[in-house]
Amino acid sequence: MSEDQFDESKFSQLLEWIYEVDQVTDPEARSRLVGQLKSMPQDIVDKMYNDYGKSFLSSAGGAMGAAAGVAVGGPVGGIVGGVVGKKTAGKLVTNNGPFKSELGPSAVGAYPHLHRVGDLIFVSGIGPRKPVTNEIPGGPIKDENGNPLDYDIKAQTRLVIENIRIILEEYGSSLENVVDVYSMLVDMDRDFAGYNEVYAEYFSEILPSRTTCSVLALPTPIAVELKVIAKA
């Protein structure tokens, strides 16, 4: 679209809505604004990102980040997150390179949550630790002295996949875009059936390719870890 065709009034309106979303607390008012944001033409949104980029996400108090699905948080995130993001999040994260999630579990080493190369997203190995608390659902597999403990492989597997979902969706992708899964189990004989059951709940229709390997141990006292490749 040429400059003389661009609707500056709509661009100004988008700016106003973004700031307003960050201030409004009434659910009905927020829903109305979300609908307005969603209806905004793509060229208007494109100009927003081209002109303001990531710096604007911070200066707008996180509202635009929530709307773009890349920095969802607080009361705004739950309502606005993913709305504009479905058509614009990629605008912010199309560059190749690493991405560190603010919503997923913290990394246990010097690596990002994912690394994008072209149209593919390579997600690092993700375990069943809750974001923020690092709690392991179903319990750890051993105590501080290395003594084995009973644990729930289904609960661990479920959180692994949910963590991957959080990271992909924060980036602007989804579980539906996963094309390959590499799974690691500490106790294949004990845990394969339970892991496989939960896995099927998420991937039986998506059907990515999969490799499941037995490993001697994982860096923390967990029973399962998955790494995936997804389409951007």
Q: Are residues 61 and 102 in the same domain?
A: no
Q: Are residues 166 and 216 in the same domain?
A: yes
Q: How many domains is the chain partitioned into structurally? A: 2
Handedness of CA 193, 195, 197, 199 (dihedral sign): negative
**pTM value surpassing 0.85:** no
Beta strand segments in the chain, E = 97-99, 114-117, 120-123, 178-185, 209-214, 224-231
Q: Are residues 176 and 194 in the same domain?
A: yes
Q: Are residues 125 and 209 in the same domain?
A: yes
Q: How confident is the model at residue 138 (pLDDT cuts 50, 70, 90)?
A: very high
14-18, 49-53, 185-189, range with the lowest pLDDT: 49-53
Residue range 204-230, pLDDT digits in tens: 999 999 999 999 999 999 999 999 999
Q: Are residues 144 and 200 in the same domain?
A: yes
Q: Are residues 70 and 9 in the same domain?
A: yes
Mean per-residue pLDDT over the chain, rounded? 75
Task: Report yes or no: 195 and 104 within 8 Å, Cβ to Cβ.
Answer: no
Token pair of 32, please? 């109305």
The residue among 92, 124, 139 that closes a domain is 92
Q: Are residues 210 and 151 in the same domain?
A: yes
Q: Are residues 78 and 173 in the same domain?
A: no
Q: What is the DSSP string of 66-117?
A: HHHTSS--HHHHHHHTTTTHHHHHHHHS-SSEEE--SSSPPPSSS--SEEEE
Q: What is the mean pLDDT of residues 116-130?
A: 94
What is the pLDDT, as a whole number, of residue 132? 83
Q: What is the mean pLDDT of residues 8-22?
A: 56
pLDDT higher for 154 or 92?
Answer: 154
| Residue whose tokens read 């948080």 | 73
Q: How confident is the model at residue 231 (pLDDT cuts 50, 70, 90)?
A: very high
For the chain, what is the radius of gyration of the CA atoms?
A: 20
> Is 63 buried (19+), middle (13-18) or exposed (0-12) by CB count in 10 A?
buried
| Mode of pairing for the β-strands spanning 97-99 and 114-117 | antiparallel
127: containing domain: 97-231
The residue among 35, 62, 92 that closes a domain is 92
Q: What is the CATH number of the domain that holds 221?
A: 3.30.1330.40
> How far are the Cα atoms of 55, 57, 192 from residue 51, in angstroms, in the given order?
10, 12, 50
Q: Are residues 8 and 62 in the same domain?
A: yes
Q: Are residues 106 and 214 in the same domain?
A: yes
The residue among 41, 67, 92 that closes a domain is 92
Q: Are residues 108 and 48 in the same domain?
A: no
Q: Are residues 65 and 149 in the same domain?
A: no
